[in-house]
Structure 1
Amino acid sequence: MKNTIITCLLSAFAIGIFAQANDTKATLKAPTASPDATLVQNFGESDITVTYGRPSARGRKIFGQLIPFDSLWRTGANDCTALALRETVIIGGKKIPAGKYSLFSIPAQEEWTLILNRDATLHGAFGYDPQVDIHRFKVKPEATGRFYETFTIEFGDFNPRGESSLNLMWENTMVKIPLQTIADFNNMAEIQKRLIDKPEKNADLLFQAAAYYYATKRDIQQAKTWVEAAEKMDDKTFSIPNLAQKIYADLGDYSTALAAAQRALALAEKEKLSSSIKDLSKRIADLQKRASAGKER
């Protein structure tokens, strides 16, 4: 009798545990196949934000199969890929005003078509309307040196001119979307208008143009011409011969660079620019050695 009671109690306990387990809902969740990502990059005087879904290859052939050639692609997964600009940016050679845009593409073997569209609210490409495209341009794909299992977007190729690229990478393919800051675009347009199309005789403008060309690693011979013209008009401003000595030295003309550095030093001493005096004194010693070595050859 005692054993029967114990058996009944154990059975009731087991049934209670089973019932409790059945009342508890499963909470296991599978990993997201294409996780969303947000990328923020400072560019120019503001930043660019990219939001996109990141699908993975998972053993599949991507371009030409999973992503058919010559067909519209959301350029990612989930919702449409979006670019948010806080200021005007030159994308693919065109000024794109501040705002939020969707990024679509039409991959092909030889050349991709990139599309910026005003509607950034779409899920994938559903509802895409070419009538609200803001820009279409062509970019040639490149082979990558590594395999990208997961679709990746990143910024790269920054240079002193305010240029960069938005790189799309998946499988063994990379597409680079050219970017340019509006500041560089405006500066070059101003230089073109005021010093190339109809040259102005303005020492400060000539100096600024020479300094900009030098800093952005453009035509150094043109920078030399402009800084020389600026010094002919204004031989009292320290910054002009100081820039000139850097340009001459980069061109390998150390004797002329030495003379310009000495002129800059005299003006620095006159203006009591202690930091510049110290730097130029060292610079002159170095240029004297280089100029002497050049004469010995």
Structure 2
Amino acid sequence: MKKIIFISFMLFQSLLIGAQEKVQIRTTSASPASSFDQEVGSAIIKIAYSRPLVRGRKIFGELVPFDKLWRTGASDCTVINTSEDISFGKSILKVGSYSIFSIPSVNEWTIIVNTDTTLHGETGYDEKKDVMRFKVPTEKSPNFYETFTIELNDINSKGEAFLKIFWENTMVKIPIKSKEDDTILALIDQHIVKGKTQDATLLFQAANYYYSTNRDYKQAIEWLLEAEKLNPQNFYYPNLRQKLASENKDYPKAIEAAKRAISIADKEKMKKTIELLNHKIADWEVLLKK
């Protein structure tokens, strides 16, 4: 019995020692990898990059020297992929994947887009593979950024955005624009302006696009009036018209359009919508009395 206990004890000890020998303490990455996809208009833009930390160091002008090529991040080169041709800076970036390098200076950065996405840092960089270079001014970032950060934000209804690069107290912004806005405007010109369409849905869509992109509201109202002639019982046409007229501060036309929308909504028993529109009418009537 003692022999069995002894053997069991020795087996346990050997297993324990073996387990201890396999224990490893893994340190966190000095430059964590990151990636994201962002829809901008009709384009899908993907960014993959590494994020070095400040860690008490002076970054620009020391760790990242001024006026020298920089990988714009750490580890492997920063990569941008676009699903369609986009405006990047002031040039057209064709569909595909590219590396982003930069030359930081005190007051501006030179942004470099290169076709080689296989590079580790600046090693092997070939200027002949550049597809564009342009300058952007530096700005003071709104916050201190301990971690190198790339964001795609300030996206609007026209498919415009900014690629923003932050680190320490520095920020640079690169304007981006999808081709969606140009495509839609071309369709409006072809089918509505020149083609004089008799399609109420297309007229509404054009007016709604002008509304969402803050364009000519008077023209949008004209298209909606044409759409209402073609389809008098569509609630959405006068409802959008009251919004446009209100934005133009043309309250008499806003009231007329809202009342028209209410007459259609009443048939559909849209009680909450009717209540909201009646509140708007009351507010506009007060404004007209001032």
Q: Please give the per-residue CA displacement for 1:175-195, whole angstroms capped at 9, x wherever unaligned.
A: 122222332232244456777
> How far apart are residue 52 of structure 1 and its match?
1.3
Q: Distance in 2 between matches of 1:285 and 1:119?
A: 61
Unaligned runs of at least 5 residues, structure 1: 1-16
The corresponding residue for 2:218 is: 224
Q: Distance in 1 between matches of 2:136 and 2:188?
A: 28
Q: Is the 8 A contact 2:83 2:95 kept in 1?
A: yes
Q: How many residues align?
A: 268
Q: Give the partner amino acid of 1:211.
A: N
Secondary structure of the equivalent of 2:49? strand
> How far apart are residue 39 of structure 1 and its match?
2.5
Q: Is the 8 A contact 1:91 1:178 kept in 2?
A: yes
Q: Distance in 2 between matches of 1:136 and 1:69?
A: 17
The corresponding residue for 1:14 is: none
Q: TM-score scaled by structure 1? A: 0.76
Q: TM-score scaled by structure 2? A: 0.78
Secondary structure of the equivalent of 2:122? coil
Deviates further, 27-36 or 247-256: 27-36
1:32 to 29, 33, 37: 29
Q: Distance in 2 between matches of 1:229 and 1:44?
A: 24
Q: Give the partner amino acid of 1:77.
A: A
Residues 68 and 291 of structure 1: CA distance in aligned 2, closer, same or farther (over 3 Å): same
| Match status 1:243 vs 2:236 | no
Residues 188 and 65 of structure 1: CA distance in aligned 2, closer, same or farther (over 3 Å): farther
> How far apart are residue 170 of structure 1 and its match?
0.6
| Match status 1:185 vs 2:182 | yes
Q: Is the 8 A contact 1:261 1:280 kept in 2?
A: no
| Match status 1:121 vs 2:118 | yes
Residues 148 and 287 of structure 1: CA distance in aligned 2, closer, same or farther (over 3 Å): closer
The corresponding residue for 1:158 is: 155
> How far apart are residue 34 of structure 1 and its match?
2.0
Residues 200 and 193 of structure 1: CA distance in aligned 2, closer, same or farther (over 3 Å): closer
Higher relative contact order by CA 8 Å / sep ≥ 6: 1 or 2?
Answer: 2
The corresponding residue for 2:54 is: 57
| Match status 1:101 vs 2:94 | no
The corresponding residue for 1:8 is: none
1:81 to 61, 78, 83: 78
Unaligned runs of at least 5 residues, structure 2: 1-13
2:87 to 83, 87, 90: 90
Secondary structure of the equivalent of 1:186? helix
Q: Please give the per-residue CA displacement for 1:187-208, whole angstroms capped at 9, x wherever unaligned.
A: 244456777xx75534655543
Secondary structure of the equivalent of 1:294? helix
Q: Please give the per-residue CA displacement for 1:114-172, whole angstroms capped at 9, x wherever unaligned.
A: 12211101111222222222232322121013221221112221223322222111110
Residues 193 and 66 of structure 1: CA distance in aligned 2, closer, same or farther (over 3 Å): farther
Q: Which has the larger radius of gyration?
A: 1
Residues 184 and 278 of structure 1: CA distance in aligned 2, closer, same or farther (over 3 Å): farther
2:209 to 195, 200, 212: 212
Residues 248 and 130 of structure 1: CA distance in aligned 2, closer, same or farther (over 3 Å): same
The corresponding residue for 1:10 is: none
> How far apart are residue 289 of structure 1 and its match?
0.8
Q: Is the 8 A contact 2:161 2:176 kept in 1?
A: yes
Q: Percent identity?
A: 41
Q: Is the 8 A contact 2:102 2:112 kept in 1?
A: yes
1:282 to 255, 258, 275: 275
Residues 130 and 188 of structure 1: CA distance in aligned 2, closer, same or farther (over 3 Å): farther
Q: Give the partner amino acid of 1:226.
A: A
| Match status 1:68 vs 2:65 | yes
The corresponding residue for 1:4 is: none
Q: Please give the per-residue CA displacement for 1:93-133, whole angstroms capped at 9, x wherever unaligned.
A: 44433321101111122221212211101111222222222
1:260 to 245, 257, 260: 257
Q: Give the partner amino acid of 2:174.
A: I
Q: Is the 8 A contact 1:258 1:284 kept in 2?
A: no
